[in-house]
Structure 1
Amino acid sequence: MIHKKTRKYIPADLEIKWENLEPVYNELVDRPINSVEELEQWLRDRSELEAALEEDFAWRYIRMTCDTTSEELLQNFQYFATEIEPKTAPYSNKLNEKLVNSEFVNDLDDDKYFIYLRGVRKALELFREENIPLQTEIQIEQQKYQGITGSMSVHIGDKEFTLEQASALLKGTDRVLRQEAWEKITARRLQDKGKLDELFDHLRSLRHKVALNAGFENFRDYMFQALGRFDYTPQDCYEFHAAIETEIVPILREQAEKRKEALGLETLKPWDVDVDTSGKAPLKPFKDGDDLIEKSIQCFSNINRYLGERLEIMKDNGLFDVESRKGKAPGGYNYPLAETGAPFIFMNSANTFRDLTTMVHEGGHAVHTFLTADLELNDFKHCPSEVAELASMSMELISMDNWTVYFDNDKDMKRARRDQLIDVLKTLPWVAVVDQFQHWIYTNPDHTAEQRREAWIQIYEPFGAGFVDWSEHPDAEANLWQKQLHIFEVPFYYIEYGMAQLGAIAVWKNYKENPEKGLQQYLDALKLGYTKTIREIYETAGIKFDFSASYVKELAEFVRSEMEKL
């Protein structure tokens, strides 16, 4: 069993209520600092308080997403968003000011604190008192997405399915059943398109106000600063989109043509993209959620005993909720528990191959959480998404040779690996579309819902539009963006998946060439947390932080060559 780290500053039994927190914040604000040693102790004490708050918030979020029907769990989450965060925000700003104005700040080890201090100065630059109530409202409003989508279900035959469970039928060989499942899923989503449009319009308006208050023309430019994107610009993102369109889309179009030919179809419909072209039944890598966890522990152990032990610790401590059920929020995540030093994995398994890849993806995040657990300051663990997603996406590929624990014959292994490599390439155009769409949304803040749908189609089509015929389902195509949780809940967190996907291919390439060295470089990079720049972390992993057309082409050709071997 694992337990929270022993507290040295705040009381072990501190209940997270504002009347208990305010004296602690006041002590940190008022404490005299007379040496660099006292400043570092002050930083450690502040870090301990922030870790306690983070873990408390984590559990409120986890419990709410595990059961979106519970009013009590929703209120517990909203209490933190409305009563704790708005009151801690001004204090955090005061503490940042105290730090940067300290006469000893320049005596701190630059190699150790450079990244941290850079982030503190950026937070000070962006802080506006008038944005606190807006950010509270945004926090509450965006959770409504999960309430709306978590309640969606469909009836097929005499059974009720969550949308994740129904999506598993899209892999079946019965085309009539696939079409029925797709049409019912789509109709159910479209049933709430008005609600989701209304919710998003409100979120967009609130976010735009935040940006204006902070002195920016639009929310896109504000978020590039707020997310700490010190290493690239919006223009770099557009060039990355173009590289994906040029280098990846043709490969996927070629694959779509092969799919159409193999299935004997004149055109591919949206319900034809997930079925295996050999005519075989969908892969079944595990029986149920418990089996998925056990097999994943074995898979990780076969790569490296340390990796398997991390998942075993999580299982022993009840840190998984993996099976899909009605009332559970959609999607999947790995949520770090700042004081415990372990994470919680949440997902919606419907016993499909996709669930296997979700598990190893979130398992990569989990390993990252453990590797950074003992870094001195809580902020040192707050990795940018370009690094966090490198951890997870690399694990998807590194683990492939050990998928024998899920499949008992070589043919299924080859199918699974080939499907995974196609998915790796398919990730990139979708990332480009979602990212470019968000650039459009927030640089055109006065758009209507109809204009938004038109913009989505204009952006989606050049990237292949899923390489299917949407002519009979224009509404479904125009509203596909509503499936993407990130657009509602974590705006602009998406291009990182593309950058990390390239990095993951490069990590895997190194691993294939020298497994021991490749794995060690990957783990060494993750151990850094966010104590180095993104570029330095990638270099520690033995790869480049590069998304130029030439690099995209090089790595795409490597994936294509690996696919041909299968």
Structure 2
Amino acid sequence: MIYKKTRTYIPASIEIKWETLEPFFKELCDRPINSVEELEKWLHDRSELEAAVEEDFAWRYIRMTCDTTSEELLQNFQYFATEIEPKIAPFSNELNKKLVASEWVDKLDHKKYFIYLRGVKKSLELFREENIPIQTEIQVEQQKYQSITGSMSVHIGEKEFTLEQASVFLKDTDRSKRQEVWEKITARRLQDKEQLNELFDHLRSLRHKVALNAGFENFRDYMFQALGRFDYTPQDCYAFHEAIQKEVVPILRQQAEKRREALQLDALKPWDMDVDISGKPALKPFNSGAELIDKSIQCFTNINSYLGERLEIMKENNLFDVESRKGKAPGGYNYPLSETGAPFIFMNSANTFRDLTTMVHEGGHAVHTFLTADLELNDFKHCPSEVAELASMSMELISMDNWDVYFDNAEDLKRAKRDQLVDVLKTLPWVAVVDQFQHWIYTNPDHTDADRTRAWIEIYEPFGEGFADWSEHPEAEANLWQKQLHIFEVPFYYIEYGMAQLGAIAVWKNYKENPEKGLQQYLDALKLGYTKTIKEIYETAGIKFDFSAAYVKELAEFVKSEMDKL
């Protein structure tokens, strides 16, 4: 079993509610600090309090997403969002002020605290009292996305399936079956189109208000500051989109043409994009959620015993919920538990190849959680997404050499690796589309639903439109953005997947050239948490934080050469 770290500041038995938390926030605000040692003790006590609060929130979120039909679990989550979080926000701002104003702050070890203090100063710049109730409303509103999408299901034959389960049929070699299922899934999504449009319009308007209150012209510019994007600008993102369009889309267009020819079709339709072009049935790497967990433990162990042990610890402590079921929120995530030092992995397995890649992706995040568990301050563990996603996306590629755990047939293993490498490249245009769409949404805050639809199509088309012919399904194409949870729940968290995907390809290239050194550099980078700049963390991994056209071209060509070998 694993146990939470021993507390030295707040009682082990404290119930997390505002009445019990408030005295500790007040004490931290009022405590005199007369030396650099006392300042560091104050930082550790604050860190302990924040970690306890974070872990309590984590469990409320996890339990709610595991069962979106439970009113009690929803109310537990909403209690935190409405009664605890808004009351902590002004105290956090006061504590930040106290820290920055302390006469001892300049005596802290600059190398150790530079990143942390930079973030604190940015938070102080952005804090506005009037945004607290708006941010509370946003927190509550955006959870409605999961309630709406979590209840979506379709009937195929006599059985009811969640959309994740139904999507397995899109790999069926019977084209008419694929089309039937795709049309049912699409019709079900479109059924809630207006409800999701209304929800998003409300969220957009609330977010714009937050930005205006903080002195920004739009929410995009606000979020670049709020996310601590010290290392790149919106203009860099546009340049990255262009590089992907120029260097990656043509490779994927060639792959799509190979698919069309292999399937002997005049044109690829949206339901032709997931079936295996070999004419063989869909890959089935495991038969149940329990088997997926066990095989993943073995796969990670074969890479390095430490990695396998981390997943084994999670299994022993019931820190997985992997099976898809009705009423469960869609998607997958790895949620770090700040005090426990381990994470929880949530996903919607339907026994497909995609579930394998989701598991090794979230497993990469999980390893990252364990590696940063003993960092001194809770804030040191709060990695920017460009680093967090490097952990997960690299693991997808590093683990490939050990996928024989899932496939005992050599041809199936080859198919799995080929599919994975195509997916690696396919990630990049989709990231560019979602990111560019969000830039447009928030820099055009007064747009209508019709404007938004037009913008989506205009942005999506140059990136290949998924390389399918949508001409008979314009409404479905126009509505694809609603599938992306990030747009509703974590705005602007998406370009990081593109940056991290490039980084992951570079990590994998190093690993292939020298497995021992490549893996060690990767783990050394993850251990840093967020105590160094993104650039320094990438350099520790033996790679560059670079998304120029030349670098995109170099890495895309490396992936293509590896695909050609298969």
How many residue pairs end up in the alignment? Answer: 566
Report the equivalent of 2:392.
392
Deviations 1:211-247 (A, max 9, x none): 0000000000000000000000000000000000000
Report the equivalent of 2:484.
484
Deviations 1:91-126 (A, max 9, x none): 000000000000000000000000000000000000
Whichever residue aligns with residue 233 of structure 1, its letter is T
Deviations 1:290-309 (A, max 9, x none): 00000000000000000000
Classify the secondary structure of the residue corresponding to 2:322.
strand
The 5 A counterparts of 1:19-418 are 19-418=19-418
Whichever residue aligns with residue 421 of structure 2, its letter is L
Whole-Å Cα distance in 2 between the matches of residues 453 and 256 of structure 1? 25
Report the equivalent of 1:549.
549
Classify the secondary structure of the residue corresponding to 1:6.
coil
Report the equivalent of 2:559.
559
Deviations 1:376-408 (A, max 9, x none): 000000000000000000000000000000000
What is the CA-CA distance between 1:409 and the residue it aligns to?
Answer: 1.3
Whichever residue aligns with residue 287 of structure 1, its letter is N
Deviations 1:330-385 (A, max 9, x none): 00000000000000000000000000000000000000000000000000000000
Whole-Å Cα distance in 2 between the matches of residues 529 and 54 of structure 1? 17
Report the equivalent of 2:527.
527
Whichever residue aligns with residue 350 of structure 2, its letter is A
Deviations 1:520-564 (A, max 9, x none): 000000000000000000000000000000000000000000000
Whole-Å Cα distance in 2 between the matches of residues 489 and 497 of structure 1? 16
Whole-Å Cα distance in 2 between the matches of residues 278 and 22 of structure 1? 62
Gaps spanning 5+ residues in structure 2: where?
none
The 5 A counterparts of 1:511-522 are 511-522=511-522
Whichever residue aligns with residue 366 of structure 1, its letter is A
Whole-Å Cα distance in 2 between the matches of residues 49 and 311 of structure 1? 27
Whole-Å Cα distance in 2 between the matches of residues 183 and 233 of structure 1? 40
Greater than 2 Å deviation, 4+ residue runs: none
Whole-Å Cα distance in 1 between the matches of residues 551 and 362 of structure 2? 26
Whole-Å Cα distance in 1 between the matches of residues 3 and 187 of structure 2? 46
Whole-Å Cα distance in 2 between the matches of residues 238 and 109 of structure 1? 37
Whichever residue aligns with residue 286 of structure 1, its letter is F
Classify the secondary structure of the residue corresponding to 1:345.
strand
Whole-Å Cα distance in 1 between the matches of residues 388 and 377 of structure 2? 17
What is the CA-CA distance between 1:17 and the residue it aligns to?
Answer: 1.0
Whole-Å Cα distance in 1 between the matches of residues 206 and 3 of structure 2? 39
Whole-Å Cα distance in 1 between the matches of residues 17 and 319 of structure 2? 25
Whichever residue aligns with residue 538 of structure 1, its letter is Y
Whole-Å Cα distance in 1 between the matches of residues 459 and 347 of structure 2? 29
Whole-Å Cα distance in 2 between the matches of residues 303 and 264 of structure 1? 40
Whole-Å Cα distance in 2 between the matches of residues 119 and 14 of structure 1? 29
Whole-Å Cα distance in 2 between the matches of residues 18 and 482 of structure 1? 35
Whole-Å Cα distance in 1 between the matches of residues 25 and 210 of structure 2? 25
What is the CA-CA distance between 1:450 and the residue it aligns to?
Answer: 1.0
Whole-Å Cα distance in 2 between the matches of residues 9 and 22 of structure 1? 14
RMSD: 0.3
Gaps spanning 5+ residues in structure 1: where?
none
Whole-Å Cα distance in 1 between the matches of residues 486 and 18 of structure 2? 30
Deviations 1:269-322 (A, max 9, x none): 000000000100000000100000000000000000000000000000000000
Report the equivalent of 2:2.
2
Whichever residue aligns with residue 386 of structure 1, its letter is E
Classify the secondary structure of the residue corresponding to 2:511.
helix
Deviations 1:34-85 (A, max 9, x none): 0000000000000000000000000000000000000000000000000000
Classify the secondary structure of the residue corresponding to 1:348.
strand
Classify the secondary structure of the residue corresponding to 1:435.
helix
Whole-Å Cα distance in 1 between the matches of residues 331 and 450 of structure 2? 27
Classify the secondary structure of the residue corresponding to 1:464.
helix
Report the equivalent of 2:425.
425
TM-score, structure 1 normalization: 1.00
Classify the secondary structure of the residue corresponding to 2:284.
coil
Report the equivalent of 2:502.
502
Whole-Å Cα distance in 1 between the matches of residues 424 and 453 of structure 2? 27
Whichever residue aligns with residue 436 of structure 1, its letter is Q
Whole-Å Cα distance in 1 between the matches of residues 433 and 171 of structure 2? 24
TM-score, structure 2 normalization: 1.00
Whole-Å Cα distance in 1 between the matches of residues 12 and 468 of structure 2? 57
Whole-Å Cα distance in 1 between the matches of residues 407 and 19 of structure 2? 55
Aligned residues with identical type, % of pairs = 86
Whole-Å Cα distance in 2 between the matches of residues 262 and 18 of structure 1? 62
Whole-Å Cα distance in 2 between the matches of residues 451 and 3 of structure 1? 52
